[in-house]
Amino acid sequence: MGTSSRTPRRRGAKRPPHVVVATRVYAPEPVAAAFRLEALVLALERAGAEVTVLTSTAPGTGTARSRHRKVSRWPVRRDAQGQVRGYFSYLSFDLPLALRLMLQRPMDALVIEPPPTTGMVGMVAAALRRIPFTFYAADVWSDATDSVEGVPSWVRATVRWAEKTVWRRAERVLTISPGVQRRLEELIDASDHLIMVGNGIDTETFSDHGPDGGEQGPYFVYAGTVSEWQGAEVFVDAFAQVREQHPEARLLFFSEGSGRDQLEQQVREQGIEGIEFRAKIPPTQVAAHLRGAVAGLSSITPGQGYEFALPTKIYAATATGTPVIHAGEGAAHDRIRDNRLGWACDYDTAQVAAAMDAALRGHGTPPAEDLREWTMHNASLAGCAAKGAAEVLAPLHEARASGD
């Protein structure tokens, strides 16, 4: 039979595989998940796939664009700080996403990321389209729900059920750290479809070369989300003590999140000077400010089940040659301590204050070149994305090899 434009084409045989990535946030939105997904998309393209991204409109990014062109954006409900956060915000993305996925031209694979509601929509769409889907488990949302006060028990149970269902039905589940991997194995039992690809930072944007932000005097940088499980208030309390001995020091928050208002209120009520809360800024500016900082800051509230987390802000600092002060036990504490990336403290005001004092005095500060080299070898986002892309495409290659 002769070929024509109407002749059905076997999946992947005569065209590049078409992968759709569905994510509520995407570059240039300045959050870790957005750039993690962009890195995956670029890696998929380098591996020969054609990729379409279904995401939300990104406020406050001006004329900045992603490095990937095939991006379809849809307006969503955001909170006062511009985040896609909360039930109604998630639904404002998920409900249109269901239709967007069904109207997509022929696609061969789907990649979805949290929240679990997006996972459920993607899981159903993948079943109807008869394609494999990969879930990018950068976090365990049901654990986070357990740590938030006031959440009804039925909501907690529903989130847990939805998340576990999506994980079990996925062709692949990509995890970002050994801790997240272990947690998923605890919840759904060990399985060979759970793949730890790691996590990292864009080492081209976050480098040790470039401007330093132009700030005056020594300063610390906290860049990223402030919420219940980060517990960034320990830095406010510690800085209040440090400021007495170092009146020229400052603490800069480039943050958003549910805990930011409370932190600002705490600073006002206690009259702490030297702490500044600034708006989210593009990654290039975050990198510049980190280059000039005496230390980047990272924390995890103890007792909320998040000790497995490895905040990306750690790698953002070390990639620029800046050490990290981390407050809290767990994977992040151990990584900083074992690799000499800065100061690993308990979640304790006195310990954090002592680390801040040491950083300001230059006591025990690791060499910038060592921090950069470690990050290049252990926390490159491009390397992690390449592993993820290979796993996303693996089912397609297997189907082709079997003659599907």
pLDDT digits 0-9 by tens, 30-58: 888 898 999 999 999 999 999 999 999 97
* DSSP-derived secondary structure letter, 185: H
* Least-confidence region, from 12-16, 126-130, 349-353: 12-16
Q: Is 95 left (phi over 0), alpha (psi -120 to 50) or beta?
A: alpha
**By the 8 A CB rule, do 374 and 341 touch?**
yes
DSSP 16: -
For 169-218, what is each residue's pLDDT tens digit? 999 999 998 889 999 999 998 789 999 999 999 999 999 999 998 998 99
pLDDT at residue number 164: 96
Amino acid of residue 75: P
CATH code of 18-200+380-401, in short, is: 3.40.50.2000
pLDDT tier, 266 (very low <50, low <70, confident <90, very high otherwise)? very high
Q: How confident is the model at residue 68 (pLDDT cuts 50, 70, 90)?
A: low
Q: Of 118, 30, 148, 27, nearest to 82 (Cα)?
A: 30
66, pLDDT greater than 60: no
Question: CATH topology of 18-200+380-401 equal to that of 219-378?
Answer: yes
Residue 138 has pLDDT above 50, yes or no: yes
Q: What is the mean pLDDT of residues 17-21?
A: 96
Q: What is the pLDDT of residue 404?
A: 54
Domain 219-378 in this protein, CATH class = alpha beta
Residues 233 and 111: their CA atoms lie apart, in Å, by: 35
Helix axes 178-188, 153-169, angle to 10 degrees: 100
Taking alpha carbons only, the member of 56, 13, 21, 10 closest to residue 392 is 21
Q: What is the pLDDT of residue 399?
A: 80
The percentage of the chain sitting over the pLDDT mark of 70, rounded to a whole number, equals: 93
Cα–Cα distance measured from residue 285 to residue 42, given in angstroms and rounded to the nearest whole number: 22
pLDDT at 7 over 50: no
Domains of the chain, by residue range, sit at 18-200+380-401, 219-378
CA dihedral 36, 57, 211, 294 (to 10 degrees): -60
- What's residue 188's pLDDT? 94
β-bridge pairing 18-22 and 194-196: unpaired
